[in-house]
Structure 1
Amino acid sequence: MPHPQTGTGDVVDLVVIGAGINGLAIARDAAERGLSVVVVDRGDVGAGTTATSSRLIHGGLKYLERYDFTLVHESIRERHLLFRNAPHLVHDYPMLIPFYAGDSRPGPLIRLGLAAFDVLAAGRGRGRSRGMSTRAIGRRWPHLSQRGLRGGVLFNDAQVPWAERLCVELLIDAERLGATVLTYTTVTGLIVDDRRVLGVRTRDNDTGEAGEIRGRLTINSAGPWIDRILDGQVESRRLNGGTKGSHVIVDPFPGAPDTCIFFEAAADQRPIFVFPWEGRYVLGSTDLTYEDDLDEVVASDAEIDYLLTEANRLFPDANLTPDDVLYSVAGVRPLPYTAGVSDNAKISRGHTVLDHAPAYRGLLTIIGGKLTTHRALAEDAVDEALEVLGRPRRRCATRTRPLPGADAADWPAFRAGFLRAPAPFTPEQAARLVAVYGIRAARVRELVVADPALGEVVDSRTGAVAAEVVLAFREEGARTLADVLLRRTLVGLGPDMALSAAVTCADVAVRYLGWDAGRARSEVAAYRAELRRFRPRVLRLAEATPTSDRRAS
């Protein structure tokens, strides 16, 4: 997919700053409703906060604790729509909520809350919650700590194993509808004239070329970076008060559960998770006030120790240590700034579309938002945009519009057929392709059928093939090797973060995409550099090995 250059052409209806899940959802909705849209992001789609989420699609159970019934209702509805519009990416996900003596939330209170949740989810639920006795839990989860156990509840929610693919498919659909998405293009400033925002000034990260994108309305959807966009350009109170959330990823451990366990941490009473994810386990997450550099967010030793300690308390046989951590993931939630809050869990997880008029016309800022409700946020933002632009209100169609990977008359039939006749792939390869790409797995197959050499396996662990690298660049907006490994094929999220596959994938780009050897080397080096924010074990071990030993091996 060629990368369009910024320039000083026609004025578009919307300039959207930020290509995370919210900015892309806004672009998709706006384009579908007939607006001309340009999205600008200094990095890749979904490479910021979206890629650091817990990968869970919450029905909103935990928001009942704050009596935020509006957000609960919205979350239930949006979860239901994701099951329908992205069934290849969003799946049922049972969770056990165990009750322990000394928990700040008594078991009867949680049961009451779940009963209320089941009522609110009527017709859109995934099955009613079910109480579990201590004995039943001991039989089903024999390695879960029995010390102080007082029973529990089995609750049905949802998971999106590949949140990055949600962003990629929003990108594909937005561009199909006419939106333009400029990645690796930095917004260097807003164009402000007489307190009216007229668009943005930009710089192409590769060429250094400066440009302008003029728009009738600019939407600041930069997540935790919204204040940075406004700083020195628009007078405003502080808007973002995001908290830091960190996760650690480990291999299966002694006593590891086959379902998600949602429990209360002993250290601070925060609800946290231990859950299976693509053959590994995620422990998370923290919820810490964060005032440091938004571009240098990494999990701290203290956070890693906190998560391991709580997992070991819950599963006494686990004996997890920092050496067991494959890698960590950390990001900042785009929450509204809330002065004087004593408990970060009490900060609203809802969203607000802020119109800066009358102080500054032509500018909206998106405050808050979360993975589950990205579509609803976009609908609200585009409704507001149409009103500000003086355009007729047009019905939002994204409630019923499937994402590209599910755009089939009969998605289950497509999946069954693809798995039943996997050639030219192995059954395991076919299962992965349809799970990652949905019906777009057929495009991978078409590429391999047209050129069997593209069936070369580039990652032995997953069975990913060369055709996926080509598809990522030609049809899915990838610009770098990291884009391919971390946010298209997802092989970079495996135990060794695809260090062993990076050179092979770069070689595919040399053979099929016109890279020279120098670019291949620089892309591999840049990929290794990007991995440092994950603190991957594979890099720690490599750097701890003397150079002579590495050469000998």
Structure 2
Amino acid sequence: MEDNNLHLSLKRKNRFESTKSGYDVVIVGGGVNGLGTAWDAALRGFKVLLVEKGDIGSGTSSWSSRMIHGGLKYLEKYDVPLVRESLKEREWLVKSAPHLVRELRFIIPFYKNNQNSAMILRLGMIAYDILSFDKSLKSFEFFSRKKILEKEPGLNPKDLKGGCAYSDAQVDYSERLCYEIALAAKEAGAEILTHVKAIDLNVSNGKVNSIKIKDELSGEEVDVPTKIVINDAGPWIDDVWPKEHISLPRMNGGTKGTHLVLHSFPGAPSDAFYYESDDARPMMVIPWKDRYLIGSTDIPFVGDLDTASATQDEYDYILYETNKVLPEAKLTKKDVIYAYTGVRPLPYSEGSKVSDITRRHKIVDHKDKYDGLYTLVGGKLTTFRQVGEDFGDILSKRLGKNVKCKTRKMKLPGGNITSMEELRNQIKNTGINETLIRRLADQYGTIGVKLSKFIMEKPERQEVIDEAFGLTVGEVEWAVTFEEAYRLSDVIARRIMTGLEDDLGLGSIEPVSKICAKILDWNEERRLQEIELYKNYIKRLEVK
């Protein structure tokens, strides 16, 4: 194990220092869109470096509604191209990561006082269905008032006129989705360095020639020669470069979205609900990992993006709207297990209503001042692959490499599955405890077969250290050894996924931290420091 510790430490240091050799493109931001861009570019043969100041998917990509959707709401703005693009990408993800992305059925109740009439909603359903002509998901269906109340008796019957059902998709762990995109990019040849921050851009005669990066763990800094720099930092795009050196107009006008996590409650629906709030916002009640997500808000946000959290007004708003549509629930703040908040990376549009701000992504070319610098403004979880393709086309044209996009016909590393039943049988055949089979299949896909074999190699790896979740020692060892988790929060929140359980991973933090300490060569002081850092990290999720 000591040799492996040394190997991991030296390997990371050597990878950081080797960046001095230079790249075709450096991508700043390890969220879903930055990772998708790295994957596409690497597959086209470009030499790619991606740097992320935190961990893979540790920003907005972790804090969405966890929906892979076509954007039904966008039809209100007549943005048909965006809806069609999103529906195509939804279908690709359902087929490319079937272990992580699954069909989710939604119920929309039609109420008398909705902003959109039942007829408009019917037309919207028909349009949504036509635009998803190549889908594998179920088509829509309409319900009379009587039928929808039979199906979902918890619905508020007052002024209810009927309803409909349609399908989108859900990703239980967007964190694992991000990791698999990162793995795909690495397998294609990209270098991905986490806990490495872009701190400056070097420009000569109006043209980008290198980027300065800093290893947040060691403090070391290097200049990395590059032809192109892509700022893919989501809502952080305006904060990447020192303003005294790189002067750009404000580009991000992000809005804050909060979700509350609860156990099942009286009147809780069997399918997801999509309904209209008093202020005509779309609200949702979504089954998720034997619990429910309810929300979300959509509020212009100015503040510390790294610590955005739910306010009392948001609790009141979400609970009121949920209780209104499901009156038996009688939910209060005491029913909330935890809450999470993300900031949507929307374009800055001074004076615009939040609902009027486009959800399309836009690639900004800064050639007039900083030739070779591009910024992604906007971007959604569902359409990351298309963002990567768009950037790949730009790179191919600019750098003279006539190579077409390859990601459209590929699957993610854990998604090469004939059927989930067959995958579960493959995991079962490793001899692993039967209680772990379904979770490992769902969480890791085909990677779960390799992980199961790794766990079964040594009896000590089979020890369960979190009975409720079924977490084994081997999973923690795997996360650190093979999945480049360098901090305790990386392991708990975005690899083994106990960080999304009711206790936010605290129930097994001692054994998990000791395994990390052994492999990463932490002394006791460092281990305790990592525990405190993790506890500080989850403060934003705790109900206050």
Name the aligned partner's letter for residue 468 of structure 2: R
The answer to whether structure 1 residue 404 and structure 2 residue 413 are counterparts is yes
**Take 2:464 and 2:515, find their aligned partners in 1: how far apart are those partners?**
11
Whether contact under 8 Å (2:35, 2:178) holds in the other structure is yes
1:551 alignment counterpart: none
Task: Count residues with an aligned counterpart.
Answer: 532
> What do residues 294-337 of structure 1 show as CA deviations (whole Å, max 9, x unaligned)?
23311111101110111111111211111111111111111111
Normalised by the length of structure 2, the TM-score is: 0.95
Q: CA deviation at 1:229?
A: 2.1
**Take 1:356 and 1:526, find their aligned partners in 2: how far apart are those partners?**
37
Q: CA deviation at 1:456?
A: 1.2
1:373 alignment counterpart: 383
Match of 1:361 among 356, 359, 371: 371
**Take 2:110 and 2:421, find their aligned partners in 1: how far apart are those partners?**
41
Structure 1 residues 8 and 402: CA distance shift in structure 2, 3 A: closer
1:208 alignment counterpart: 219
- Shift >6 Å, 4+ stretches: none
2:3 alignment counterpart: none
Q: CA deviation at 1:422?
A: 6.9
1:69 alignment counterpart: 80
Match of 1:250 among 243, 250, 262: 262
2:447 alignment counterpart: 440
**Take 1:214 and 1:233, find their aligned partners in 2: how far apart are those partners?**
18
1:546 alignment counterpart: none
Where in structure 2 are there 5+ consecutive unaligned residues? 1-7
Match of 1:388 among 378, 381, 398: 398
- Say which SS state the counterpart of residue 256 (structure 2) adopts: strand
Match of 2:532 among 493, 518, 525: 525
Superposed, 1:122-271 pairs within 5 Å as 122-230=133-241, 231-266=243-278, 268-271=279-282
Deviates more, 1:509-518 or 1:303-312: 509-518
Whether contact under 8 Å (2:211, 2:225) holds in the other structure is yes
Match of 2:324 among 292, 307, 313: 313
1:417 alignment counterpart: 425
> What do residues 521-550 of structure 1 show as CA deviations (whole Å, max 9, x unaligned)?
22211111110111x25xx6xxxxxxxxxx
Where in structure 1 are there 5+ consecutive unaligned residues? 541-553
**Take 1:117 and 1:58, find their aligned partners in 2: how far apart are those partners?**
11
- Say which SS state the counterpart of residue 188 (structure 1) adopts: strand
Structure 1 residues 211 and 419: CA distance shift in structure 2, 3 A: closer
Superposed, 1:53-64 pairs within 5 Å as 53-64=64-75
Q: CA deviation at 1:32?
A: 0.8
Percent identity at matched positions?
A: 37
Q: CA deviation at 1:419?
A: 6.1
Q: CA deviation at 1:517?
A: 2.6
Q: CA deviation at 1:30?
A: 0.6
- Say which SS state the counterpart of residue 399 (structure 1) adopts: helix
Whether contact under 8 Å (1:354, 1:365) holds in the other structure is yes
Q: CA deviation at 1:8?
A: 6.1
Whether contact under 8 Å (1:15, 1:199) holds in the other structure is no
Whether contact under 8 Å (2:259, 2:340) holds in the other structure is yes
**Take 1:470 and 1:420, find their aligned partners in 2: how far apart are those partners?**
20
2:4 alignment counterpart: none
- Say which SS state the counterpart of residue 144 (structure 1) adopts: coil
Whether contact under 8 Å (1:201, 1:213) holds in the other structure is yes
- Say which SS state the counterpart of residue 485 (structure 2) adopts: coil
- Say which SS state the counterpart of residue 306 (structure 2) adopts: coil
Structure 1 residues 138 and 419: CA distance shift in structure 2, 3 A: farther
Q: CA deviation at 1:511?
A: 4.3
Normalised by the length of structure 1, the TM-score is: 0.93
Whether contact under 8 Å (2:96, 2:411) holds in the other structure is yes
> What do residues 437-464 of structure 1 show as CA deviations (whole Å, max 9, x unaligned)?
0011112211122112101112221102
**Take 1:105 and 1:422, find their aligned partners in 2: how far apart are those partners?**
54
Whether contact under 8 Å (2:33, 2:385) holds in the other structure is yes
**Take 2:454 and 2:67, find their aligned partners in 1: how far apart are those partners?**
32
- Say which SS state the counterpart of residue 406 (structure 1) adopts: coil
CA RMSD of aligned residues (A): 1.6
The answer to whether structure 1 residue 462 and structure 2 residue 469 are counterparts is yes
